[in-house]
């Protein structure tokens, strides 16, 4: 009976993680309001969810803002580029929506294929920025290479992310209740689920060293290109693991 009220049992640990994710979700929403800061907010959120997924979480707010500030410039540039590309893809599909003919069908298929590559890269890019030091070009390149090299996990993350958004807009009821879920914990829950999938991929390129600070990854990663070595003996190209200290 005493075990039932033990704070270390799975039930209370799950409640604790859910509470952390709700706090993180609120931080993400508040820091995303200026729009241009969404990239930094994603990076901070993924930094924390990766920690939670690895059972290394520390102080939620402190970890979030540390990563938010440290990666602000790169995250903002990546986000603005991604936003512009997303608008361009959306406009292209809108313009071609009612166009008829074989040529237009081919163009639609081509744009859709490029959009899929864009989306899977976007799923990886902010977690990659949160976890590893690199240039903007190197971060985007490595995010793309990891997404292609790990297609089963990438597909699951894509279905989970895009499917959650589409389900929200399915009808009026899902829009109302879905919006409530997104406000309470939706963004952080999706990030946490993706982090569970991505953490094993990152582990291939991360040194195995013990942690001393629950809010920092304290290790150096070697320079490497993901696909240059089939045995994965090297870490990410031109990267060092991001200690966020």
Question: Which 8-state DSSP code applies to residue 127?
Answer: H
244 three-state secondary structure: coil
| Rounded-to-integer distance, Cα 118 and Cα 128, Å | 15
- Mean residue pLDDT across the chain: 84
Q: Kindly report, residue by residue over 47-63, the tens digit of the pLDDT.
A: 999 999 988 877 899 99
Q: How far is CA 32 from CA 52, 93, 116, in A?
A: 21, 27, 24
First and final CA of the chain: distance in angstroms? Answer: 42
pLDDT of residue 232: 46
Report the 3 state secondary structure along 28-97.
HHHHHCCCCCHHHHHHHHHHHHHHHHCCCCCCHHHHHHHHHHHCHHHHHHHHHHHHHHHHHHHHHHHHHC
pLDDT of residue 237: 47
Please say whether the beta carbons of 207 and 241 come within 8 A.
Answer: yes
Q: Which residues of the chain have pLDDT under 50?
A: 1, 210-212, 214, 218-237, 245
pLDDT of residue 14: 82
In the chain, where are the structural domains located? 2-241
pLDDT of residue 222: 35
Distance of CA 136 to the CA centre of its chain: 16
């Amino acid at each position: 009976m005493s075990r039932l009220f033990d704070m270390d049992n799975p039930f209370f640990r799950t409640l604790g993680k859910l509470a952390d994710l709700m706090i993180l979700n609120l931080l993400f929403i508040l820091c995303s309001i200026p729009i241009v800061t969404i990239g930094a907010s994603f990076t901070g959120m993924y930094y924390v969810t990766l920690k939670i997924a690895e059972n290394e979480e520390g102080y939620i707010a402190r970890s979030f803002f540390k990563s938010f500030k440290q990666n602000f410039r790169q995250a903002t540039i990546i986000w603005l580029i991604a936003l512009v590309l997303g608008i361009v893809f959306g406009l292209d599909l809108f313009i071609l929506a009612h166009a008829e003919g074989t040529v237009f069908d081919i163009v639609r298929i081509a744009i859709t294929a490029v959009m899929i590559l864009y989306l899977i890269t976007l799923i990886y890019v902010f977690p990659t920025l949160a976890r590893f030091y690199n240039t903007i070009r190197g971060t985007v390149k490595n995010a793309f290479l990891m997404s292609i090299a790990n297609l089963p996990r990438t597909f699951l993350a894509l279905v989970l992310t895009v499917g959650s958004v589409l389900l929200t807009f399915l009808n009026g009821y899902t829009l109302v209740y879905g919006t409530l879920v997104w406000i309470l914990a939706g963004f952080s829950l999706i990030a946490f689920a993706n982090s569970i999938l991505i953490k094993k991929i990152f582990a291939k390129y991360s040194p195995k060293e013990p942690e001393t600070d629950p809010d920092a990854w304290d290790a150096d990663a070697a320079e490497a290109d993901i696909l240059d070595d089939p045995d994965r003996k090297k870490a990410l190209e031109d990267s060092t693991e991001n200690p966020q200290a």
